[in-house]
Amino acid sequence: MAAHDATHHGHGHDHSHAHGEAYAVHVPTRVYYWNFAALMVLLVITLFAAYFDLGEWNLFIAMTIAVIKALLIVLFFMHLAYSTRLVRVFAGAALFWLIIMFVLTLGDYFARQAPSMPGH
Amino acid sequence: MSTTTAETQGLPDPMGIDLQPEIPREHYINTDYSWKSWLFTLDHKRIAILYLVSVTVMFFIGGFGAMIVRLNLLSPHGAIVSPQTYNRMFSMHGVVMVFFFLVPVIPAVLGNFLIPMMLGAKDLAFPQINLLSWYFYIVGALIGTTALTFGGVDTGWTFYAPLSTQFAYGNVAWTIVGAFLAGFSSILTGLNFIITTHRMRAPGLTWFRLPLFVWAHYAASLLQVLATPVLAITLLALLVERLFGVGIFDPKLGGDPVLMQHMFWFYSHPAVYIMILPGMGVISEIITCFSRKPIFGYKFVAFSSLAIAVISFVVWGHHMYMTSQSAFASIVFSFLTFLVAIPSAIKVFNWTATLYKGSIRLETPMLYCLGFIGLFTIGGMTGLHCAALATDLHLHDTYFIIAHFHYIMVGGQVLAFMAGLHFWWPKMTGRMYSEGWGRTAAVLLFIGFNLTFFPQFILGYEGMPRRYPTYAPEFQVLNVMSTAGASILAIAYALPFFYLIWSLKNGPIAGPNPWRATGLEWQTQSPPTTFNFDRIPVVVAGPYMYSPEADEILDAQMAVEVAQLELQRTKAVIAQHHAENEEAGRGV
Amino acid sequence: MASETVTAGQHAVAEHAADHPHGPAYLHHHFDDVEQQRECTSLGMWSFLATEIMMFGGLFFVYSLYRWLYPDAFHIGSHHLNITLGTGNTFVLLFSSLTMAMAVHFATENNPRMTVICLGLTWILGAAFIGIKAVEWTTDYREGLVPGLNWTYYNHEEGLRELANKPIGPQHVMMYFVIYFSMTGLHAIHMIIGLILVGVFMRYAAKGQFNGGNDQPVELMGLYWHFVDIVWVFLFPLLYLIAGFHPGGLGGGAP
């Protein structure tokens, strides 16, 4: 490819100091406090739901609450809600790949009979 | 830049060809020769050289294992070693070649060296992580090879449970630790490449102006980052089971051995694409330069790298047709495996179309390149035989499988590495190797390789099982042929080792761009300085801008430069004569 | 993060003073500017977390499979865990995420004193987590519920009574405990690494290293810490709350 030597160094070399601050995410602390409060409430709900025997629904409810908690932590404590699109793509990609692994492997197991319990 | 260039003599030198090349005064090797400066370096080029030395050692160790295997197979009763030793030898060959050679070779050597330069950057995004990756690699490789040498493992490189967890003799645990550490090296390298490619491109270098080498490494890096951790947890689970006697994969304790295979192959299938994708990237660079043509279908080749990466994640079950994996899953995996052949085929078609009506030059890198295309095609097509459920029933665990993956791994990957090593050798070392020896080795490699592995397709088709130290007597002729081929292969591997090292001190000096290639890495001196570029380049056009017109201009300019040099030399000679005559005149 | 070790002769550009025209001292040479450095290191940490997701994901998969195969064994195994302590641990970790987020906040605000305090609180809470885990594990060991090290609970009548009339054997409950110890063990290793790093960061923060725009290392530390917390958020219901609360139930269970 054709390339010219630039007479300037790459962008940014003439910037003055200490301007990392300009890029830091400034989240008001009340967001953190409310987030924590929400997480506490969800923890109580998890325990409350576990108290009742709802059969298969227990797992579903517990996982739903866990997912919400995880989302709250990721979005607000880990600043994903304030991050660039590229960072969100990276975070989403990881989740997507995890799902692939689960879906395809579990698919195999669901499609065949579970190995019989030994001794029965 | 160089001290004596056409530029400094007042002559135009747009491609940096350099008619009277000298080794530049300062470059990344001679800034400091101390061992500390090498072992604690942060320069991606030095780290690449560290890797080059390490993987070469690993290659010869793995090759030793192969040598014992092939020698043993000269006789149907096992010619030279006991069955137990034979098991250890093929396991050693597999573990060393897969984990310590094939996975890192092109990314950690050529990728590390070239990617920052191809992007116009001073280094990768995380130089310290880069060095750390080498340390993980070297410690893992040392532990692994030591464990394999003293005690060994007899499980094959695939470590299937319950053999590996309960019944195998030897150093399974330590070998697993070695592979585990090498895996971290792979993850860190991939992480570095991804972020560097996203965020450290030179001004004007958009995604679709990137060399395909970078696209290929980007795709392979995605695999390295997302698949290798699953290997890590699988190896950890194997360790826990072996060391604590628990039963994650043990049927007696309620476990499922096929689970181990699922988890293992979830990594190990993408792993083979980690190996081949960078090789394909190398081919794209070389085939354009030596056809003097832009790549045919740039976007198709770029996207096919990504497609291969994505699809490769969902085909792992094709290694498990012969287990209790459900028929449903096997069908799905088989179908998806057929799909993954498509982007690979697209690349082969596009490379072939690049050759069409090109101005082809058959230097050593191009010979390896052409060999790659042919052998990879054969390997890829036989992959379809393996992917089809009905045929795999007969071919699984036979020599057909071995031949298939050696055609890809050796006929593909190793040839691509040789091609890239020769192509970028002048850039890395400032020296050219002997072209005569280079071509000889390339041809020998092609002949030796086919003689070694083509008979194995036939052997497998006729039913000879793999990983057996003995075989039925009717297979002997083909086995002997295969071993004979392996001897030729060994010579073909040894030759570059010698003539490349010899060229370091005695080869002709290369100058910045002996191949007249495009690409930012060729705009620097050979060898490059520590920080690659004096000034950050600005990119204004796409890659591979080769054309007959451009070459004509280069030829004309070169003729002008040669003439001007001649003129200067003649003037110097005349001046010399005058001086001598004056001296003589005064003396009289 | 920590400054590079540069050996003599490594750079053509030699050592430089704090006010080098290239940029602030924490700007590494190979980056063009601070913005690029921040973006790259942030993406780097997220990529690393992606690898952690895939690694833990493997273990979560093993859990899913065996829970699906042996639901009774998982019920029974889960009863042996102490929900009070598990809840305590969850609370402790969530609280530590708050203090960590505050530490990042104060680093951004150039307040080293509060940064150190918040990191210190995080450390104490993390150590409390490990302490509670140690209590749980030693209890399990004493009860004979640790596979490979002390698996004797089901040699006794009490254990066998648990399994009566159920289509499982002790080896299936052992599977649950193998998974329990593997998952919480891997998690604990990550916690301990986190504690070491937080300790190191406290020292750096006290020296004012994170002032003047260099707050990003603390943010990255925070990302790691929050991730380890998220893993626990999933581990707690999956390991502890399978059987719910059964007052007067089996083994050393819930309050």
List, for residues C104-148, the tens digit of each pLDDT value. Answer: 999 999 999 999 999 999 999 999 999 999 999 999 999 999 999
The Cα–Cα gap between B538 and B373 comes to: 34
Interface of C with A in 136-165 (CB under 8 A): none
Q: What is the pLDDT of residues B403-451, one digit of tens each?
A: 999 999 999 999 999 999 999 999 999 999 999 999 999 999 999 999 9
Please tell me whether residues A52 and A63 are part of one structural domain. Answer: yes
Looking at the complex, does the CB of residue B539 fall below 8 Å from at least one CB of chain A? Answer: yes
Q: What is the pLDDT of residues B324-342, one digit of tens each?
A: 888 888 999 999 999 999 9
Set of chain C residues whose Cβ sits within 8 Å of the Cβ of A48? none
The Cα–Cα gap between B309 and B318 comes to: 16
Min distance B371 CA to chain A CA atoms (Å):
27
Above 50 in pLDDT, residue B240?
yes
Nearest CB partner across the interface for C105, out of A27, A52, A109: A27
The Cα–Cα gap between B393 and B330 comes to: 12
Question: Which residue does chain C place closest to B234, by CA atoms?
Answer: C58
Q: Is residue A51 part of a domain?
A: yes
pLDDT at C160: 87
Set of chain C residues whose Cβ sits within 8 Å of the Cβ of A25? 108, 219
Question: Which residue does chain C place closest to A10, by CA atoms?
Answer: C32
Binned at pLDDT 50, 70 and 90, residue C162 comes out as: confident
Looking at the complex, does the CB of residue B1 fall below 8 Å from at least one CB of chain C? Answer: no
pLDDT at A29: 92
Query: Is C65 within 8 Å of B259 when comparing Cβ atoms?
Result: yes
Residues, chain B: 588
pLDDT at A114: 52
Among C45, C61, C68, C97, the residue to mutate for chain A (most A Cβ within 10 A): C97
**Domains in chain A: how many in total?**
2
Nearest CB partner across the interface for A32, out of C61, C101, C219: C101
Min distance B409 CA to chain A CA atoms (Å):
26
Looking at the complex, does the CB of residue A118 fall below 8 Å from at least one CB of chain B? Answer: yes
Question: Which residue does chain B place closest to C46, by CA atoms?
Answer: B191
Q: Kindly report the average pLDDT of chain B as a whole number.
A: 93
Encoded tokens for B95: 């573990």
The Cα–Cα gap between B400 and B461 comes to: 6
Q: Are the C-beta atoms of C215 and A27 separated by less than 8 Å?
A: no
Nearest CB partner across the interface for B254, out of C7, C39, C172: C172
Please tell me whether residues A67 and A95 are part of one structural domain. Answer: no
Looking at the complex, does the CB of residue B547 fall below 8 Å from at least one CB of chain A? Answer: no
Query: Is A6 within 8 Å of B538 when comparing Cβ atoms?
Result: yes
Binned at pLDDT 50, 70 and 90, residue B587 comes out as: low
Above 50 in pLDDT, residue B20?
yes
Q: Kindly report the average pLDDT of chain A as a whole number.
A: 77
The Cα–Cα gap between C102 and C107 comes to: 9
Min distance A86 CA to chain B CA atoms (Å):
9
Q: What percent of chain B lies above the pLDDT cut of 90?
A: 83
The Cα–Cα gap between B236 and C107 comes to: 37
Three-class SS state of B465: strand
Q: Give the residue extent of every domain in chain B.
A: 49-546
Please tell me whether residues A32 and A76 are part of one structural domain. Answer: yes
Query: Is C65 within 8 Å of A109 when comparing Cβ atoms?
Result: yes
Q: Is residue C135 part of a domain?
A: yes
Q: Is residue C25 part of a domain?
A: no
Q: What is the pLDDT of residues C169-219, one digit of tens each?
A: 899 999 999 999 999 999 999 999 999 999 999 999 999 999 888 999 999
Above 50 in pLDDT, residue A18?
no
Set of chain A residues whose Cβ sits within 8 Å of the Cβ of B203? 6, 10-11
Q: Are the C-beta atoms of A46 and A65 separated by less than 8 Å?
A: yes
Please tell me whether residues A32 and A58 are part of one structural domain. Answer: yes
Please tell me whether residues A76 and A90 are part of one structural domain. Answer: no
Binned at pLDDT 50, 70 and 90, residue C21 comes out as: low
Set of chain C residues whose Cβ sits within 8 Å of the Cβ of B254? 66, 69-70, 73, 169, 171-172, 174-175
Between B87 and C2, the more confident residue is B87
The per-residue DSSP string of B390-416 comes to HHHHHHTTBHHHHHHHHHHIIIIIIHH
Above 50 in pLDDT, residue A1?
no
Please tell me whether residues A34 and A45 are part of one structural domain. Answer: yes
Q: What percent of chain C lies above the pLDDT cut of 70?
A: 88
Between C222 and C11, the more confident residue is C222
The Cα–Cα gap between B189 and B76 comes to: 44
Interface of A with B in 89-108 (CB under 8 A): 93-94, 97, 100-101, 104-105, 107-108
Interface of C with A in 86-105 (CB under 8 A): 87, 90-91, 94-95, 97-98, 100-102, 105
Min distance C114 CA to chain B CA atoms (Å):
30
Binned at pLDDT 50, 70 and 90, residue B17 comes out as: low
pLDDT at C249: 35
The Cα–Cα gap between B89 and B97 comes to: 12
Lowest-pLDDT choice from B306-315, B534-543, C97-106: B534-543
Looking at the complex, does the CB of residue A55 fall below 8 Å from at least one CB of chain B? Answer: no
Q: Is residue C221 part of a domain?
A: yes
Interface of C with A in 9-28 (CB under 8 A): 19, 21-24, 26
Q: Are the C-beta atoms of B152 and B170 separated by less than 8 Å?
A: yes
Q: Is residue C250 part of a domain?
A: no
Identify the domain containing residue A55 by its residue range: 27-82
Min distance B273 CA to chain A CA atoms (Å):
16
Beta bridge partners of B398: B465
pLDDT at B7: 42
Q: Is residue C249 part of a domain?
A: no
Set of chain B residues whose Cβ sits within 8 Å of the Cβ of C47? 191, 194-195, 225
Among A14, A17, A54, the residue to mutate for chain C (most C Cβ within 10 A): A17
Fold (topology level) of B49-546:
Cytochrome C Oxidase; Chain A (1.20.210)
Above 60 in pLDDT, residue B56?
yes
Q: Are the C-beta atoms of B271 and B98 separated by less than 8 Å?
A: yes
**Domains in chain C: how many in total?**
1
CB atoms within 10 A of CB A118: 13
Looking at the complex, does the CB of residue B203 fall below 8 Å from at least one CB of chain A? Answer: yes
Query: Is C33 within 8 Å of A95 when comparing Cβ atoms?
Result: no
Looking at the complex, does the CB of residue C185 fall below 8 Å from at least one CB of chain A? Answer: no
Contacts of B501 by beta carbon, 8 Å cutoff, 6+ apart: none
Contacts of B579 by beta carbon, 8 Å cutoff, 6+ apart: none
Binned at pLDDT 50, 70 and 90, residue B144 comes out as: very high
Residue type, position C124, single letter: I
pTM of the model: 0.90
Q: Are the C-beta atoms of A73 and A39 separated by less than 8 Å?
A: yes
Binned at pLDDT 50, 70 and 90, residue B68 comes out as: very high
Nearest CB partner across the interface for A5, out of B256, B325, B537: B537
> Touching C: which chains, 3+ CB pairs < 8 A?
A, B
Encoded tokens for B136: 């993980």
Q: Is residue A4 part of a domain?
A: no
The Cα–Cα gap between B444 and B446 comes to: 5
**Cα angle at B156 between B150 and B157, to 5 degrees?**
90
Task: Average the pLDDT over B258-279 and give the result.
Answer: 96
Please tell me whether residues A105 and A66 are part of one structural domain. Answer: no
Binned at pLDDT 50, 70 and 90, residue B585 comes out as: confident
Above 90 in pLDDT, residue A2?
no
Above 50 in pLDDT, residue C16?
no
Of B330, B452, B343, B478, nearest to B392 (Cα)?
B330
Query: Is C32 within 8 Å of A11 when comparing Cβ atoms?
Result: yes
Task: Average the pLDDT over C163-173 and give the result.
Answer: 89
Query: Is B123 within 8 Å of C48 when comparing Cβ atoms?
Result: no
pLDDT at A26: 86
Query: Is B540 within 8 Å of A4 when comparing Cβ atoms?
Result: yes
Binned at pLDDT 50, 70 and 90, residue A109 comes out as: confident
Min distance A70 CA to chain B CA atoms (Å):
20
Q: Are the C-beta atoms of B364 and B424 separated by less than 8 Å?
A: no
Q: Is residue A8 part of a domain?
A: no
pLDDT at C11: 33
Task: Average the pLDDT over A25-36 and give the result.
Answer: 92
CA C233, distance to chain mean position in Å, is: 10
Set of chain C residues whose Cβ sits within 8 Å of the Cβ of A23? 34-35, 38
pLDDT at C1: 33
Query: Is B332 within 8 Å of A107 when comparing Cβ atoms?
Result: yes
Above 90 in pLDDT, residue B5?
no
Nearest CB partner across the interface for A6, out of B262, B313, B537: B537
Q: Is residue C79 part of a domain?
A: yes
Between B275 and A7, the more confident residue is B275
Q: Is residue C5 part of a domain?
A: no
CA dihedral (C25, C26, C29, C31) in degrees, to 10, reads -130
Please tell me whether residues A31 and A78 are part of one structural domain. Answer: yes
Among A8, A15, A16, the residue to mutate for chain C (most C Cβ within 10 A): A15
Query: Is C44 within 8 Å of B191 when comparing Cβ atoms?
Result: yes
